[in-house]
Each structure stands twice: as structure tokens, then as C-alpha cells.
Amino acid sequence: MWMTREEISATLGIVPNSVRGKVQKGQIERKVEDGKNLYRIVSAVPKRGISPEEHEPAPVETGPAPQEESRPTSPEPTPVLTAPRIERAPEVVPAFRPVERRPEPEPKRQPTEKGAFNPKQVLLDLLASMKVGRSIDAIEKGDEIDLATGEISRDLDAKISMRKHRQLKEIEDALERIKLGEYGECEDCGEPIPEQRLRLFPAARLCVRCQEELDQYEKLRESQGVRGGTWREEPSEGTYVRTFED
């Protein structure tokens, strides 16, 4: 059967430009009829993309005898490989030997020039230094402050100078502040008084800054001609001394 170039290329599965090559190889016959090129297949031409062996008709095979369908069998479990356990030799524990412990040397304490500050004892020692006919050491702990403010004050009124009387009053007030838990606090600003100052002036009521302000105020009063009794704290041979100026 004669076909146009497009029809035969579609039948053979090739591009139209390849038809001319097939004509030259004698696989396709060409004729001109009514001014048109017609083509027909002379010999078997393999389709594009198919090898000649595949294009040849497959021989008819006689089917083998029907076999019984094999039933699907469950896959065999894959064996799990485990690493062999390596048995370790038992550890040899060395025999216990008691370790002799030597006593640790006590840490060396740095020598201090001054021991712990005990303001109450310092104030009582100051009272003891003011000999008034009886020893302060005989005062019992419960009534030491009462006796200091009572009996000793009355004796001092008659036996010691005004300076010692004022000094005793400051010591008594300091002991009272210890009893109330207010010792070591500045009565003006409320800040703690440094221990170094309390060692020098155990009955100090003011910190250094407030004391300096008070001294400047007293000096101002003196410069203005308004004089009044003032007390100044001065160290004297390691004891508490407070001088009175009138």
C-alpha cells in the first residue's frame, strides 16, 4: 500500500527526513503519481528505537505444562550476629593496709598586738581604776550596772572632781548601751563606730566625723564669745580620758 512520506514515517516511527535514507537502502520503494511522492515498504524496516533482533517475529513457543502455583513462604528470619562476650579476669584487690594518720599540725596563728575587744570589761576596768574605797571586782554580774550608777556615783559626788564625775557618767552610759544592744553606734548619724576608735575611747558616743563636726561647732561658739562646757576625748596612757573646758 502506497503512503505519503508523513504516513510511512508515522508507520515506521521515524522522522520524515529519514524516509529518503530508507529509499536509498532499498527498504522503501518510491514512485511519483500525479506530482506526489508515494512510498511503500519493500522489506521489513525496524522501528526507531527497536533493534532488528527485537523486530523479528518471536518464535511461537509451546507453553510448558502448567505447574502448580508455589505458595508464598514466609521469609526466613535473619540471624542476629552478636559479638562474643569477652570474659575479663577478676580484678585482684590489694590487701587493705591501714594508713597511719599523722596528726595535722595546728595552723600557726599570727601573733596579734591586741586581743579581742571586750568593751564591757574595758569599761569595768576603767571603773576599777577609779578607786573609790571598794573594788569593782566585787560587783556581781546582775547588779554591776545598778551599783555603778548608784552607790559609786554617790561616793564620787563627794570624793572626786567634776572631771572624774563626768567620766564616770560616760562610762555608765556606755555600760547601759551595752545592756540595750546599742553600743558602738553613733548617736548622731547611726553609723557604726570603728573598733579602733572604741579601743581608744571605749565610751565614745559619736563617730570621728560627727565628733569633728561637734568640735567645729564648739570652736565656732567660742569664737563668737558664747562659751560653754565642752568635753573632748583624749588618750592618756592607754586609758579613757575626757577633759572638760568651761
Strands (E), the chain: 28-33, 36-41, 230-236, 239-245
**Residues 186-241: tens digit of each pLDDT:** 988 989 999 898 888 888 888 999 999 999 998 888 888 655 555 555 554 444 55
Confidence class for position 134, pLDDT limits 50, 70, 90: very low
Tens digit of pLDDT for each residue in 27-66? Answer: 888 888 888 888 888 866 555 554 444 444 445 455 555 5
Instruction: Check if the beta carbon of residue 117 is closer than 8 Å to that of residue 195.
Output: yes
CA 243/CA 234 separation, integer angstroms = 7
**DSSP states of 1-54:** --B-HHHHHHHHTS-GGGHHHHHHTTSEEEEEETTEEEEEESS--PPTT--HHH
- The residue ranges of every structural domain in the chain are 5-52, 119-245
- Answer yes or no: pTM beyond 0.85: no
Residues 119, 198: Cα–Cα separation, whole Å: 8
Question: What pLDDT digit, counting tens, does each position of 58-91 carry?
Answer: 454 555 555 555 565 666 667 666 766 766 766 7
CATH class of 119-245: mainly alpha
